[in-house]
């Protein structure tokens, strides 16, 4: 009998599917014609499958709402962007690049600040002021000075209910550590920062979804840099929520917020409503996208 479920783990050609109605876990294989048609199921895929005793078979992949390539995962509702205060040092350019990529994939980002105990109170206050600018841009921020206090972790866990959540951010920012604080039973391997490169070792090897606080959560490998190769210059302004908010008031439709007269976004930057760093990073990314186009 045909049933519907979601892939929560993929191991050497086998797929563990959790049934949408019964929550039963079924090990399956994909039908042979998937390979011929160039279709590869990934963790997070919603599927129609049949369960024939010992082993089920995936009959059909349902349309994906979104998907990531690295790591391969589909149908994600939100991403917790784990951002380190130090080791690796906070970078608004990298944070904005991650946020732009997440917005491009139709995923809701939330920002979680770690390693605040390793910086001075003055540096923490300065970082908190910076993050307030992201709050004004409608991002949800978790920036308590004690990153892993019970109240903040509870607040974060409340966001997991009925959603598929990925953790992402720069390598070594503390994604696995954060998950271990949320649920110590997970025992996700953590590694110290590689001092020589100031980059984290990739400790997360395999993507799988696990049930946590009424939702499904994945721990995904970190990354040190991202390219904007899939984003074009017309889409970029729509990936900054605060630009979207004010662009209807720009003099020109389709305003790129660069040299156009009567640009409300630039006005809001000048009056301090939109963060200067966000606008500078936007111009930097625009330049990067234009240089890709010339190269390809």
Which positions make up the binding site? 114-117, 169-177, 250, 255, 257, 263
β-pairing, 140-142 vs 108-114, is parallel
- How far, in Å, CA of 165 to CA of 55, rounded? 28
The vertex-81 CA angle with 114 and 169, nearest 5°, equals: 85
Vertex 112 angle, CA 110 and 115, to 5°: 165
| Radius of gyration for the alpha carbons in the chain, expressed in angstroms and rounded | 21
Phi, psi of 52 (to 5 degrees): -115, 60
Binding site for Zn(2+): what residues are annotated? 250, 255, 257, 263
* Residue where the block lists tokens 């696995």: 176
> Which tokens is 179 given?
């998950």
Bind-site residues for GTP: 114-117, 169-177
Strands, E, within the chain: which ranges? 2-11, 14-19, 25-30, 46-52, 55-61, 67-68, 73-74, 78-84, 108-114, 140-142, 164-168, 193-194, 199-200, 209-212, 215-219
């Amino acid at each position: 009998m045909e049933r519907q479920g979601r892939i929560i783990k993929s191991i050497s050609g086998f797929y563990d599917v959790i049934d949408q109605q019964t929550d039963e876990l079924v090990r399956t294989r994909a039908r042979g014609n998937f390979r011929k048609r160039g279709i590869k199921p990934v963790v997070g895929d919603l599927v129609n499958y049949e369960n024939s005793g010992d082993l089920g078979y995936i009959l059909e992949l349902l349309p994906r709402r979104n998907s990531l390539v690295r790591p391969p995962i589909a149908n994600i509702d939100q991403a917790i962007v784990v951002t380190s205060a130090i080791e690796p040092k906070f970078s608004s350019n990298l944070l904005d690049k991650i946020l732009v990529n997440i917005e491009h994939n139709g995923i809701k980002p939330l920002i979680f600040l770690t390693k605040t105990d390793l910086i001075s109170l003055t540096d923490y206050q300065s970082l908190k002021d910076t993050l307030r600018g992201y709050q004004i841009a409608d991002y949800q921020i978790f920036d308590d000075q004690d990153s892993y206090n019970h109240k903040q972790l509870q607040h974060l866990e409340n966001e997991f209910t009925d959603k598929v959540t990925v953790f992402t951010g720069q390598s070594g920012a503390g994604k696995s550590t954060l998950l271990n604080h949320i649920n110590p039973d997970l025992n996700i391997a953590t590694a110290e920062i590689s001092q020589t490169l100031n980059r984290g070792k990739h400790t997360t090897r395999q993507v799988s979804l696990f049930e946590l606080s009424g939702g499904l959560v994945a721990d995904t490998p970190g990354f040190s840099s991202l390219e904007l190769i899939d984003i074009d210059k017309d889409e970029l302004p729509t990936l900054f929520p605060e630009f979207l908010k004010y662009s209807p008031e720009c003099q020109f439709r389709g305003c790129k917020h660069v040299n156009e007269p009567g640009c409300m976004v630039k006005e809001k930057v000048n009056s301090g409503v939109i963060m200067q760093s966000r606008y500078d990073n936007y111009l930097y990314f625009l330049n990067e996208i234009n240089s890709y186009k010339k190269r390809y």
